[in-house]
Structure 1
Amino acid sequence: MDDRELHAHLIGQQGSRAALNTPVLVLDLDRLDRNIAAMQAKADEKGVALRPHAKTHKSVDIAHRQLAAGAVGICCAKIGEAEVMVDAGVAGVLITSPVAAPAAINRLAKLAPRAERLMAVVDNPQVASVIDDQLARIDATLDVVIDVDPGIRRTGVASPEAAVDLARTIADCPRLRLRGLQFYCGSQQHIEDYAARRAAIEERTRYLRDVIGALREAGFPPEIVTGSGTGTHAIDLELGAFTELQTGSYVFMDAQYLDCDLDGSGEAPFETSLAVDARVVSANHKGLVTVDAGFKSLSTDGGSPQVSSGAPPETVFAFMGDEHGALVGSDIGDRLRPGDPVSLVVPHCDPTVNLYDHYHVVRDGTLADIWPVSARGRAR
């Protein structure tokens, strides 16, 4: 049975979160909406646009809530995510990973004429020319931004000179319109210490300003400078180099970001809205019980999940295989019994969300709705 068959009858029943079949992805609606409003307010205060990254939530429902709160659009990591969002009426989509494979370029060209305010990044002159040729075949146009490598050598042009060369190629492509540049410092997002993260971003911002200056001098002043993330949003807003932010994980706040001092205050500026609810399935040992959430229910790239309720806060989670996890703690086998519920803060929200078909949206412990993870698995 799928999630709706299992749980639709619980919608609106008071306290029905406790009756959900586990493991289950749970989203607190009030916390989600407060997070959306808080980030939008931060951007509005500085006069910066917000284009949140949907690779985090992969949800049409959440994207519409972000747009309603004032976002100018959303970001998608892949063409498949963008297709889902565009088909659901989401405007202002920016595809933040280069689209380079022939089949993907063909899909991008077909998406362009039916997508309102679609943009894509490019980091290679030859690819830009191929995209332009494909657009010409169907008489379509596309806005693009130059992806600039912030130093991690994943994607992006590698120097200010390369950015200028690519801008000149784009200018010679009649179907492409250059709007600006993208600069995403992914490796700096999870530096836990605020001062260290700020120093790293200040250094990278100096380089970003060099790229912007080179483009301006060459006659290609960027209208849009897009980037940043949840980990550096406060610093980037203060430094003022970006015209828009691509923050994503702020809507959920996973364990990785809870470990970071995001704004120098020592307090989390956003609330934890996402959880995986599990249940104890075995409790035959004094210092350990087993729950029904393992590798198939929680991402592993961000460490282990944190216990948020159902067990003492000092309880340690350890993966025990595909289907199971262990909760380790003094006398925990005497305190918890099979069937007892436990709620977990996910280690890394993006890949954890991709393990599930639906969000179980709750308010005050009651199941309020079931939303599809609309772009789940759209990795191409």
Structure 2
Amino acid sequence: MTHFTSDTAPTTASAWKDGHKGTRETGRDLLTDVSLPAAVIQEAPLAHNLAWMQAFAERHGAKLAPHGKTTMTPALFRRQLEAGAWGITLATLPQCRAAFAEGATRLLLANQLIGRANMAIAVALIRAGAELYVTVDGHDNVAELGEVFDEAGLTLPVLIEVGVAGGRCGCRDDGQIAALARDIAARPGLTLAGLEGYEGVVHGDDPAARIRAYGERLVENLHRLADEGLFGVASPIVTASGSAWYDLIAETFRDGGLEGRFTPVLRPGCYVVHDHGLYREAQRGVLARRPDLHEGLRPALTVYAQVQSLPEPGLAIVALGKRDIGGDRLPEPLVRYREGGRVEAPLSVAGWDVTRQMDQHTFVALPEDAKDVKVGDVIAFGASHPCLTFDKWRLIHLVDDGLTVIDTWETYF
């Protein structure tokens, strides 16, 4: 979001163009000086989440490679790496390129590397010093990758993706896994570096039991391929885990006899800012299964917006829409302030009910006792599934407990 004070307003077209790239807003009061709507991360819960998940992984003997596609915010990648993350997971080659350009050197592509243009990016990244891992699940892909990287004089570390029936990518049975591993081992341009999976595609009755079984399948195949001598690295990787069932995967890896022989890697992404919807519910499940964890993750991401109109009794229209906040669930009003007010003087949103959204408007049904609502009031909204909020913003504001902007971070979607 661009904000110009009277003494900094641009006076030429070129200045407006430059200003449109976004100001940093550092030191400004969110309730007074920042153009809204704005996506906001609170520093205290962010710092808590970074430390909490890193400690969780380490207690379970695992490395952490957070999924960067959640945020595509290099400043957050740096915070995660500084907290001890082993690497950064990405979903596409352009995402890998963006992360590497901002200092992330160990990259895990949790997808198949397909297409010659994408392979060219991968070759360039490795030549520039990136440690890049990719996934494979078929012989045709393995053959093409082997040819490209052999011709380039490089060796590409690959992870076999282990899938499930009805899921998305991945080998469906253990025989396919073994055959593909032998194929990889025979190609000079490739080296088998481990196994990859994603438990979020496991569904059915008793999902916890099914996910444990899936984790055990990963571990069993890892041992089987190691016993056959098919891995080309000293400490083969086994990796899975989103932000909902990470506890079950971590426990399965911890109990799988991996210590000293293999490198277990967890890849949650949404944990870094958590949410007020899908992952808040998932976290309740984690804490119910693991009461020893005590407090879990804290929501850190909100979108601040203002009441735009009070067109009829019991209805507020807020200048916030589907273009501003994730829409897999309607946003949740959390707290309200007067524009220019103080963080120590919050106003009630009790009984406020978001009923629908349009591109730039949110409809809020107000309770009968909501008599103090004014146009310009600032409301903080919680989102569900942070991936779908981050990708709507080019700038994200980091704020302290007093809602003063500490920093403004760019996203790279």
Q: How does the TM-score come out when normalised to structure 2?
A: 0.83
1:358 aligns with 2:395: yes
1:308 aligns with 2:310: no
Whether contact under 8 Å (1:112, 1:141) holds in the other structure is no
Larger radius of gyration: 2
Q: Give the aligned partner of residue 340 of structure 2.
A: none
Q: Which one of the candidate residues 262, 265, 270 is aligned to 1:244?
A: 265
Whether contact under 8 Å (2:319, 2:360) holds in the other structure is yes
Q: Which one of the candidate residues 202, 207, 231 is aligned to 2:244?
A: 231
1:369 aligns with 2:407: yes
Letter matched to residue 218 of structure 1: E
Q: Give the aligned partner of residue 98 of structure 2.
A: 84
Q: Give the aligned partner of residue 283 of structure 1.
A: 310
1:200 aligns with 2:224: no
Name the CA distance, whole Å, in 2 between partners of 1:3 and 1:237.
Answer: 45
1:2-81 correspondence runs (5 A): 2=2, 5=19, 8=23, 10-13=25-28, 15-81=29-95
2:54 aligned counterpart, secondary structure: helix
1:253 aligns with 2:274: yes
Letter matched to residue 253 of structure 1: H
Q: Give the aligned partner of residue 155 of structure 2.
A: 141
Whether contact under 8 Å (1:289, 1:333) holds in the other structure is no
Name the CA distance, whole Å, in 2 between partners of 1:252 and 1:37.
Answer: 12
Which deviates the most, 343-352 or 200-209? 200-209
Letter matched to residue 274 of structure 1: L
Letter matched to residue 56 of structure 1: T
Name the CA distance, whole Å, in 1 between partners of 2:371 and 2:274.
Answer: 32
Question: Over residues 15-58 of structure 1, what are the superposed CA-to-partner deviations in whole Å (9 max), with x where a residue is unaligned?
Answer: 33543212211111222121011100111112211111101111
Whether contact under 8 Å (1:228, 1:246) holds in the other structure is yes
- Sort the Cα spacing of 1:64 and 1:152 in 2 relative to 1 into closer, same or farther, 3 A: farther
Q: Give the aligned partner of residue 186 of structure 2.
A: 172
Name the CA distance, whole Å, in 2 between partners of 1:188 and 1:65.
Answer: 31
- Sort the Cα spacing of 1:354 and 1:64 in 2 relative to 1 into closer, same or farther, 3 A: same
Name the CA distance, whole Å, in 2 between partners of 1:361 and 1:196.
Answer: 39
Q: Give the aligned partner of residue 376 of structure 2.
A: 339
1:311-322 correspondence runs (5 A): 311-322=348-359
Letter matched to residue 332 of structure 2: Q
Whether contact under 8 Å (1:73, 1:93) holds in the other structure is yes
Q: Which one of the candidate residues 349, 355, 362 is aligned to 2:386?
A: 349
User: Number of aligned pairs?
Assistant: 369
* Superposition deviation, residue 286 in structure 1: 2.3
Which deviates the most, 117-126 or 337-346? 117-126
Letter matched to residue 259 of structure 1: E
Question: Over residues 312-332 of structure 1, what are the superposed CA-to-partner deviations in whole Å (9 max), with x where a residue is unaligned?
Answer: 244222333111011223137
1:94 aligned counterpart, secondary structure: strand
Structure 2 residue ranges without an equivalent (≥5): 5-18, 257-262, 337-347
2:309 aligned counterpart, secondary structure: strand
1:263 aligns with 2:287: yes
| Two-structure CA RMSD over aligned residues (Å) | 2.4
- Sort the Cα spacing of 1:342 and 1:100 in 2 relative to 1 into closer, same or farther, 3 A: same
Name the CA distance, whole Å, in 2 between partners of 1:335 and 1:356.
Answer: 31
Name the CA distance, whole Å, in 2 between partners of 1:97 and 1:17.
Answer: 41
Name the CA distance, whole Å, in 2 between partners of 1:16 and 1:285.
Answer: 28
* Superposition deviation, residue 187 in structure 1: 3.5
Name the CA distance, whole Å, in 1 between partners of 2:397 and 2:155.
Answer: 39
Q: Give the aligned partner of residue 93 of structure 1.
A: 107
Whether contact under 8 Å (1:150, 1:183) holds in the other structure is no
1:303 aligned counterpart, secondary structure: coil
Name the CA distance, whole Å, in 2 between partners of 1:313 and 1:147.
Answer: 47
* Superposition deviation, residue 137 in structure 1: 2.8
Q: Which one of the candidate residues 365, 382, 387 is aligned to 1:328?
A: 365
Name the CA distance, whole Å, in 2 between partners of 1:146 and 1:123.
Answer: 6
Could you list the runs of 4 or more consecutive aligned residues of structure 1 that deviate by over 6 angstroms after TM superposition? Answer: none
Question: Over residues 142-163 of structure 1, what are the superposed CA-to-partner deviations in whole Å (9 max), with x where a residue is unaligned?
Answer: 2111111144421111111111
Name the CA distance, whole Å, in 2 between partners of 1:110 and 1:79.
Answer: 11
